[in-house]
Chains A and B, each alone.
Chain A
Amino acid sequence: MKVDFVRFKPSLTYDYDNFVVFDENPKNGEFLKGYVVKARSSKELLQKLRRAKMDWFVGVVGDLNVLKYAVMRWRVDLILDFEGRVLDYSLIKMAREKDVAIEFSFARFLRCRGYERSKLFEEVVETLKVIKKFDTPFVLTSGAENDYELRPKRQILEFFEYLGADVERAESWIERLVRRYTDPNYIMDGLEIVGEDP
């Protein structure tokens, strides 16, 4: 299943089966709906989480304390990739325990240059090592905000594989996350309805 997480309604589809469009006010459309929760405090995070409908993917943006609080909430599905995101060891470990995915977007690399880009490479390589250690759920996406930042799936996977990501594992996490919202026979990991009792 090829699904990408984007921040706009794409007009190009490349080889993707579907898109999850993240927005602060998700609207009905042909794509899956993602709800971006931007919060500066845990109180604001809780208020915004209450607005989330059950068929929305919920992604969180905020500083380290807000992310740590967000990971503990059942409703949160993933930590979005944004400029200035800080992930530490304990957050990644908690994300594993609470089954919250961490997004790595290709678009962040496109938007920066020079020294900033080299620092980003360093940060992502280190984070991927910690994620591999704890087997934390993570997803590899384009994170595009416009059509020019969209890339084919293969290109994104090759890029992050070079940085040390286990791309097969990432694909299994993204499939699991999408099935949770789209597949009526999927209940939880390890529990699925196969058919009716004859």
Chain B
Amino acid sequence: MRPELVIAHEWIGLNVEVVKSVNPCEVGIRGKVVDETKNTLKIMTEKGLKTVIKKGRVFRVKFAGKLMDVSGDLINFRPEERIRRGLILLKRGKVRRW
């Protein structure tokens, strides 16, 4: 699977880590995504369930055999719209295609 399809893929069940955030207390939150809304990700960490806003954060995620940094602004929509909006973003954006 192509790595860029992570923004169109289902995120529940993926292991993520917050690497950049406007709230410095959120940096380092690491765990499995258990739920998702339009604006937030719910991550199950060792210390319990954490709700992290998507906008303005950068998430490190393992996908298609690669470790990737994904900006939360790119996934800031409802999970049910993920496939359509993600593919549109890839199609219309200036994506490296070679």
From B29-37, B40-48, B64-72, give the one contacting chain A.
B64-72
Number of chain A interface residues as a range: 20 to 34
Produce 1/0 per residue, A181-198, CB < 8 A to B. Answer: 100101111111111111
Contacts A190-B74, A191-B6, A194-B60; is A180 near B67 (CB within 8 Å)?
A: no
Bound complex: CA A184 to CA B98 (Å) = 9
> What distance in Å separates the Cβ of B39 from its nearest Cβ neighbour in chain A?
16
> What distance in Å separates the Cβ of A64 from its nearest Cβ neighbour in chain B?
23
Bound complex: CA A180 to CA B98 (Å) = 10
> What distance in Å separates the Cβ of B58 from its nearest Cβ neighbour in chain A?
8
Measured between beta carbons, the chain A residues less than 8 angstroms from B70 are 190-191
User: Is B84 in the interface zone, CB < 8 Å from A?
Assistant: no
Contact across chains for A74 and B66 when beta carbons are under 8 A apart: no
User: Is B4 in the interface zone, CB < 8 Å from A?
Assistant: yes
Contact across chains for A188 and B4 when beta carbons are under 8 A apart: yes
> What distance in Å separates the Cβ of B62 from its nearest Cβ neighbour in chain A?
5
Contact across chains for A74 and B67 when beta carbons are under 8 A apart: no
Contact across chains for B6 and A193 when beta carbons are under 8 A apart: no
Contact across chains for B66 and A195 when beta carbons are under 8 A apart: yes
Task: Using CB atoms, name the residue of chain A closest to B72.
Answer: A190
Measured between beta carbons, the chain A residues less than 8 angstroms from B74 are 190-191
Bound complex: CA A197 to CA B92 (Å) = 28
Contact across chains for B65 and A197 when beta carbons are under 8 A apart: yes
Measured between beta carbons, the chain B residues less than 8 angstroms from A55 are 98
Interface set of B (CB-CB < 8 Å, partner A): 3-4, 6-7, 58, 60, 62-63, 65-71, 73-74, 90, 92-98
Give the top 10 A-B pairs by smallest Cβ distance, nearest first: A190-B71, A54-B98, A195-B67, A194-B67, A188-B95, A197-B62, A187-B4, A190-B74, A192-B69, A197-B65
A180-B96, A186-B96 given; name 18 further pairs at CB < 8 Å.
Answer: A54-B97, A74-B94, A99-B94, A180-B94, A187-B95, A187-B96, A188-B90, A188-B94, A189-B94, A191-B4, A191-B68, A191-B74, A192-B68, A193-B66, A194-B68, A194-B69, A196-B66, A197-B67
